[in-house]
Amino acid sequence: MIPWPGVDWDPLFLSLEAATIATLVAGIVGIGLGALLAWPRMIARDLLDAILAAPMVMPPTVLGYYVLVAVGRKSFVGTAWRDLFGTDLTFTFTGVVLAASLGAFPMIVKAARTAFQGVDPTLVAAARTLGAGPVRAFLTVSIPLAAPGLIAGLMLGFARGLGDFGVTLMIAGDIPGETQSAPLAIYDHVQAGREHDAAVMSIVLTVGAVAILYLVNRLARPGAEA
Amino acid sequence: MATLSVRAEVARRGPAGGTFALEVDTTFAPGVTCIMGPSGAGKSTLLGVIAGLVTPGRGRVALGDEVWLDTDQRRRVPVHKRHVAYLFQSLALFPHLNAIHNVEYSMPRGTPRRERHARAHALLERLGVAHLAHRRPRTFSGGEAQRVALARALAMAPRVILLDEPFSALDRALKIPLIALVRELALEAGVPTLAVTHSIGEARALADRVIQIAGGRVAADGGPDQLLPARVAYRDDRADERALEITPAPILTRR
């Protein structure tokens, strides 16, 4: 553990772990959907974009409520998940990951759409005439050229997932050692009057957030290469 | 060697909002055909139809007996299976790959790495740009980029070559040797080669045949001696471009 007298770091590690898994999951799905939104022949692009971005502006309680209805213990998905894996999706660590993924997802989709739209379509067309099928052209031309934007989106998504409070509380609860993430721990510290612990954890999260945003800005600079 | 036949009707919304149409029905034998005509006449669209990047509303494209597109039979061979070397006006070199990797990109994927590398190197050498092999496109001059793009286009052993204003970005001193080289390479490849150009000088040096497209239709079709004024050569490119843009009719007679 980090030598800082009296501070319990477990919530931070839990948050880091959940945000990492969430970034991977939301990254794969989000980059795919971002590419779809950037595809010139995509239909109902703006409607789909609005639906996918909605979690960014919805109250966390509303979002959490929908998730509980969709994948809670008594739902079809929740029951199927329990039959398959023997655990619940909600009020477990999986719930923390799910909440972090929901936070990360819209940011990754937005960044991916912008990044793919910035790729010169002539380069993709050139790849196709040079013998690349759509998948190879995507993997060898679109992805590398969009990489700085994609990485920036993943980092923003990670930061957003790390900081989630409301949805985590709604669908995973605040169980120390199991679902208590760093933001929830800060809330508990403040409630219990543990000012020192709240301050230390807040400073760590703030430094992390600023560091990530700084790196994102550097990646977004023109001419940046992944 | 196979002849390329193209029949296409394309209707698309033009940049100004009006509808733009291309309606052609012609064939291209091996050798160089220059496609001329004012901007927006449909020259690049014709290349797009042949490469498979533009799907016409109605049409048929075939190379010899091999049908690439037949809208009546709902048949369409995808772009990457046509083996059409397309030299884009912007060249479209991959900025994230060095010259040799750009050239290797178009080689069949089953080719062993060493062989691919050797062949790419030989092509770059043939085009006089072997020294750029390990450099990325942003460091190339206009003429160098052109040569690397040509090497990449030829590396796939093309069955048709399409050149979209291949020399427009070059000054005269670079143009003359490159035009001769392109003609040499096209004849060596022995495949139908279409070159879009605005310049009568370029067309005279390159073409076995000249087609003028105006308003989406073939307005004139014949040998360069028949269709192009003899006196205009490289001396005054600007002037002959002006002549084409403003008064195509007196220069190029309708069939």
Per-domain boundaries in chain A = 10-220
Report the predicted TM-score, pTM, of the whole model to 2 decimal places.
Answer: 0.83
**pLDDT per residue as tens digits for the range B207-226:** 999 999 988 889 889 888 88
Amino acid at B177: P
pLDDT band, residue B75 (cuts 50/70/90): very high
Looking at domain A10-220, its CATH class is mainly alpha
| Rounded CA separation B120/B109 (Å) | 13
pLDDT band, residue B250 (cuts 50/70/90): very low
pLDDT of residue B245: 41
**B216 or A203: which leads in pLDDT:** A203
Give me the mean pLDDT over the B75-88 stretch: 94
pLDDT of residue B15: 61
CA B80, B85, B91, B94 torsion-angle sign: positive
Q: Are B159 and A131 in contact (CB under 8 A)?
A: no
Is the pLDDT reported for residue B128 higher than 80? Answer: yes
Q: In 3D, which of B52, B24, B19 has the Cα closest to residue B37?
A: B24
Pick the residue from chain A with its C-alpha nearest to B84.
A129
Q: In 3D, which of B163, B160, B253 has the Cα closest to residue B212?
A: B253
**B1 or A3: which leads in pLDDT:** B1
Give me the mean pLDDT over the A123-139 stretch: 95
Is the pLDDT reported for residue A125 higher than 60? Answer: yes
**B19 or B92: which leads in pLDDT:** B92
**pLDDT per residue as tens digits for the range A30-77:** 999 999 999 888 888 999 999 999 999 999 999 999 999 999 999 999
Q: Are A22 and A97 in contact (CB under 8 A)?
A: yes
Q: To which residue do tokens 């291309």 refer? A: B22
At B135, give phi and psi (nearest 5°).
Answer: -105, 155
Edge-first strand order for the sheet with B31-36 is B84-87, B160-164, B192-196, B31-36, B209-214, B217-222
In chain A, which residues have their Cβ closer than 8 Å to the Cβ of B106? 130-131
| Rounded CA separation B245/B214 (Å) | 10
Q: Are B153 and B193 in contact (CB under 8 A)?
A: no
Q: Is B84 on the interface with A (CB under 8 A)?
A: yes
Give me the mean pLDDT over the B97-108 stretch: 94
Is the pLDDT reported for residue B253 higher than 60? Answer: no
| Rounded CA separation B101/B98 (Å) | 5
- Return the percent helix, strand and coil in chain B, to nearest 5: 40, 25, 35
**pLDDT per residue as tens digits for the range A73-91:** 999 999 999 999 999 999 9
Regarding beta strands B66-70 and B217-222, do their DSSP bridges make them parallel or antiparallel, or are they unpaired? unpaired
In chain B, which residues have their Cβ closer than 8 Å to the Cβ of A223? none
Looking at domain B4-83+161-251, its CATH class is alpha beta
pLDDT of residue B110: 84
Helix (H) or strand (E) holding B245: helix B237-246
Residue among B49, B53, B79, B152 with most chain A CBs within 10 A, to mutate: B79
Q: Do B108 and A131 touch (CB under 8 A)?
A: yes
**pLDDT per residue as tens digits for the range B8-58:** 988 876 666 666 778 899 999 999 999 998 887 889 899 999 999 998 989
Model ipTM value? 0.84
Give me the mean pLDDT over the A173-198 stretch: 94
Q: In 3D, which of B61, B118, B77 has the Cα closest to residue A131?
A: B77
Amino acid at B45: T
Longest dimension (CA), chain B: 55
Is the pLDDT reported for residue B239 higher than 80? Answer: no
| Rounded CA separation A8/A29 (Å) | 34
- The distance of B217 to chain A (nearest Cα, Å) reads 25
Q: Do A131 and B83 touch (CB under 8 A)?
A: yes
Q: Do A131 and B53 touch (CB under 8 A)?
A: no
Regarding beta strands B66-70 and B75-76, do their DSSP bridges make them parallel or antiparallel, or are they unpaired? antiparallel
Gyration radius of chain B's alpha carbons: 18
**B109 or A116: which leads in pLDDT:** A116
Q: Are A88 and A78 in contact (CB under 8 A)?
A: yes
Which one of B53, B85, B152 has the shortest CB-CB distance to A125? B53
Lowest mean pLDDT among A28-32, A152-156, A163-167, B38-42: B38-42
* CA end-to-end span of chain B: 27
Is the pLDDT reported for residue B255 higher than 90? Answer: no
Per-domain boundaries in chain B = 4-83+161-251, 93-157
Sequence-ordered alpha helix ranges (H) in B52-196: 99-104, 113-126, 142-154, 172-189
